[in-house]
Amino acid sequence: MEQINTISRERQKTHRAAHVILITWSVLVLFPLWVMIVNSFKDRISIYENPFWIPSKWNFSNYQTIFQDGNFLGYFKNSIIVVLCSILLVLFVGSLASYAFANWNSKRAKLLFLFMIAGMMLPIKIASIKLLEMIRNMNLLDTIWSLVPIYVAMGLPIAIFILTEFIRQIPMELTEAGIIDGAGRFKVFTLIIIPLLRPALATVAIYNLVPFWNDLWFPLIFITNEDSKTLLLGVTRLFGQYQTDWSKVLAVLTLSAIPVILLYLAMSKQFIKGLTAGAIKG
């Protein structure tokens, strides 16, 4: 009995320590968001007076200016189109390629798989000059579509890595049963594999959403047309040579964080399942 009480006390201590660590981590993560949101409702001078607390007088003119005077709705729409198209293509191409890699057992397949996932270790920005030439030859320069092939190339390595390992964990009996019932490879993929891939697909989507949405490098290189700029590229208009209106900058950044948060909340259960897949065997 005494030994059981000792084990129970040890578990309680472990749980308390875990809660302290998680609460501390949550505060560290949420504090920058708090500062960004609170200061987006202040005027330019109030930010410097007390940047960490709620304003004495809420100022909504920053958001009104964004919606009325600027072209930020257009920038927002461009970012949504580019990110959605890129993620859908990454999921589509990545799932098909992963299905092939998971079922193709040969030396060439292993070498090609290693070649694909090598993209995770090589930053794509080192090839910016060559990519600029390729985009110009494709007549995509100064359009939002110039970003889609770049983002697909950025997202495919991690997508293939995650999805291939996930498909390999699916019991072969399921696919064999489908083939015995007369289903072809593509039908097995759409009816059996894809429903089981939802957690992994959610993981890939969320993993790629943040770098796609927050990318400033390639829009800055490929796009100069005002109507084709993405949201973060449009934010640079608010940075002046001698002064910057940080209240409006933070208002735009607050709005830009909403799609990422909403997508994560919508797919959080699948995302957690994808991260913990394979951690417990059963």
Q: Tell me the pLDDT of the chain (282 aa) as tens digits.
A: 566 666 666 777 777 888 889 899 888 988 888 888 888 888 877 777 777 888 777 888 888 877 776 678 888 899 999 999 999 999 999 999 998 888 888 788 888 888 888 877 888 888 889 999 999 999 999 899 999 999 999 999 999 998 988 888 888 777 777 777 777 777 888 888 888 888 888 889 888 988 899 898 999 999 988 888 898 888 877 766 556 777 888 888 888 888 888 877 777 666 666 555 544 443
> What is the predicted pLDDT for the residue at 148?
94
> What is the predicted pLDDT for the residue at 234?
81
Phi–psi pair at 106, nearest 5 degrees? -160, 165
Cα(189)–Cα(92) distance, integer angstroms: 12
Helix or strand run (H / E) with residue 50: none
Q: Which residues of 103-118 are buried (b: 16+ CB within 10 A; e: fewer)?
A: beeeeeeeebbeebbe
> What is the predicted pLDDT for the residue at 17?
84
Cα(68)–Cα(59) distance, integer angstroms: 16
> What is the predicted pLDDT for the residue at 8?
67
Give 53's contacts (C-beta < 8 A, 6+ positions apart): 38
> What is the predicted pLDDT for the residue at 159?
92
For residue 161, count other CB atoms closer than 10 A to its CB.
Answer: 19
Identity of residue 80 = I
End-to-end CA distance of the chain: 32
- Bridge partners, 239 (sequence order): 244
